[in-house]
Structure 1
Amino acid sequence: MDAPATKRVIIQIVTLLYILLFIYAATAKLLDLENFTVQLGQSPLLSAFASWVGYAVIAAEFLIAALLIFPKTRLAGLFAAFGLMVMFTAYIYIILNYSEFVPCSCGGILEKLGWKEHLVFNIIFVILAASAVLLHCPGADVKTALNSKGLAAVLILLSILSCCLVVALFISSEKIIHYSNTLTRRFPHWPAVKKNETDLKLNSYYLAGVSKDKIYLGNSTAPLVMTVLDTSLKQKEVFRIGLDKTNYPFKALKTAVEEPYFFIADGTVPVIFRGNINDWKAKMLLQGGFFFSQAVPVDSTTLIMRNHKPKTGEMVIGKVSLARHGAAVQNPSLLQKQIDGIFDTDGYLKYSSGLHSLVYLYAYRNGFTVADTTLNLIKRGNTIDTFGHAKLQIVNVASHAQRKMAAPPVIVNRQCAVSGNLLFVNSGIMGRYDSEEMWEKHASIIDLYNLSDGSYLFSFYIYNVKGARLKEFAVSGNMLYALIGDYVVSYKLGSTITDAYQQSGKIQNQ
Structure 2
Amino acid sequence: MALTLNKELKIYIVEVICLLYVLLFVYAAVSKLLDFENFQVQLGQSPILSVYAMLLSWMVPLLELIIALLLIVPKLRNLGLFLAISLMTMFSVYIYVILYYSSFVPCSCGGVLEKMTWNAHLVFNLIFMALGCLAFIINYKSISDPSLIRIPIRPIKSIPINIILSTLSIIVLFFSSEDKMQHKNPFIRRYPQHPIMRERSTDLKFNSYYFAGYNNNRIYLGNYTDPLHVLSMDATLGERRTEKIIFDPKNIHFKMVKIIVRGSYFYLMDGSVPAVFKGKTINWKIDKEFKDLPFFTRAEPVDSAALVFRSNKGQKGEQIIGAYNEDRVPTTVYNSSFLQKQIDGIFDTDGQLVFSEKLNQVIYVYYYRNQYIVADRNAVVAYRGRTIDTISKAKIKVAYLEDRKERKMAAPPLLVNEHVVACENLLFVHSTIQGKFEDEKIWQQAYIIDVYDLKKKAYIMSFALYKIRDKKFRSFFVTASNLYAIMDDELIVYQLRDILKKEILSNRNKSF
TM-score, scaled to structure 1: 0.94
CA distance change for structure 1 residues 98 and 296 in 2, over 3 Å: closer, same or farther?
same
**Who is 1:144 aligned against?**
none
User: Would you say 1:357 and 2:361 are equivalent positions?
Assistant: yes
CA distance change for structure 1 residues 269 and 119 in 2, over 3 Å: closer, same or farther?
same
2:307–2:377 Cα contact (<8 Å) kept:
no
Unaligned 5+ runs, structure 1: 142-147
* Alignment equivalent of 1:411, drawn from 406, 415, 418: 415
User: Would you say 1:488 and 2:497 are equivalent positions?
Assistant: no
- One-letter identity of the residue aligned with 1:19: V
**Following the alignment from structure 2 to structure 1, what is the Cα–Cα distance between the partners of residues 107 and 34?**
21
**Who is 1:126 aligned against?**
129
**Following the alignment from structure 1 to structure 2, what is the Cα–Cα distance between the partners of residues 317 and 39?**
42
- 1:284-333 C-alpha deviation (Å, 9 max, x unpaired): 62355421111111111111111111662211111212333532111111
Matched ranges for 1:16-35 at <5 A? 16-35=19-38
- One-letter identity of the residue aligned with 2:13: I
**Following the alignment from structure 1 to structure 2, what is the Cα–Cα distance between the partners of residues 21 and 466?**
43
CA distance change for structure 1 residues 372 and 450 in 2, over 3 Å: closer, same or farther?
same
- 1:459-510 C-alpha deviation (Å, 9 max, x unpaired): 1122222332432111222222211121111122122112112136667xxx
**Who is 2:302 aligned against?**
298
1:401 Cα deviation from its structure 2 partner: 4.2
**Following the alignment from structure 1 to structure 2, what is the Cα–Cα distance between the partners of residues 429 and 203?**
25
| Helix, strand or coil at the partner of 1:292 | coil
Matched ranges for 1:53-68 at <5 A? 53-68=56-71
| Helix, strand or coil at the partner of 1:111 | helix
**Following the alignment from structure 2 to structure 1, what is the Cα–Cα distance between the partners of residues 316 and 292?**
18
| Helix, strand or coil at the partner of 1:456 | strand
**Who is 2:311 aligned against?**
307
User: Would you say 1:40 and 2:37 are equivalent positions?
Assistant: no
**Who is 2:375 aligned against?**
371
**Who is 2:466 aligned against?**
463
**Who is 1:387 aligned against?**
391
**Following the alignment from structure 1 to structure 2, what is the Cα–Cα distance between the partners of residues 42 and 505?**
29
1:339 Cα deviation from its structure 2 partner: 0.9
1:259 Cα deviation from its structure 2 partner: 2.9
**Following the alignment from structure 1 to structure 2, what is the Cα–Cα distance between the partners of residues 68 and 466?**
53
**Who is 2:508 aligned against?**
503
User: Would you say 1:50 and 2:48 are equivalent positions?
Assistant: no
1:106 Cα deviation from its structure 2 partner: 4.3
1:179 Cα deviation from its structure 2 partner: 2.9
Unaligned 5+ runs, structure 2: 145-151
**Who is 1:175 aligned against?**
179
CA distance change for structure 1 residues 504 and 395 in 2, over 3 Å: closer, same or farther?
farther
CA distance change for structure 1 residues 400 and 16 in 2, over 3 Å: closer, same or farther?
same
| Helix, strand or coil at the partner of 2:119 | helix
| Helix, strand or coil at the partner of 1:16 | helix
- One-letter identity of the residue aligned with 2:46: S
**Following the alignment from structure 1 to structure 2, what is the Cα–Cα distance between the partners of residues 282 and 299?**
16
CA distance change for structure 1 residues 445 and 398 in 2, over 3 Å: closer, same or farther?
same
1:269–1:288 Cα contact (<8 Å) kept:
no
2:187–2:389 Cα contact (<8 Å) kept:
yes
**Following the alignment from structure 1 to structure 2, what is the Cα–Cα distance between the partners of residues 45 and 2?**
47
**Following the alignment from structure 2 to structure 1, what is the Cα–Cα distance between the partners of residues 109 and 31?**
14
| Helix, strand or coil at the partner of 2:343 | coil
2:313–2:320 Cα contact (<8 Å) kept:
yes
User: Would you say 1:397 and 2:405 are equivalent positions?
Assistant: no
* Alignment equivalent of 2:239, drawn from 235, 238, 242: 235
Segments ≥4 residues shifted beyond 4 Å: 138-141, 504-507
**Following the alignment from structure 1 to structure 2, what is the Cα–Cα distance between the partners of residues 32 and 473?**
35
1:465–1:485 Cα contact (<8 Å) kept:
no
1:283 Cα deviation from its structure 2 partner: 4.6
**Following the alignment from structure 1 to structure 2, what is the Cα–Cα distance between the partners of residues 11 and 505?**
56
1:285–1:325 Cα contact (<8 Å) kept:
no
- One-letter identity of the residue aligned with 2:298: Q
- One-letter identity of the residue aligned with 2:508: Q
- 1:215-270 C-alpha deviation (Å, 9 max, x unpaired): 11111112222111121212222233233333122111111111322111111111
* Alignment equivalent of 1:320, drawn from 324, 337, 361: 324
1:408 Cα deviation from its structure 2 partner: 1.0
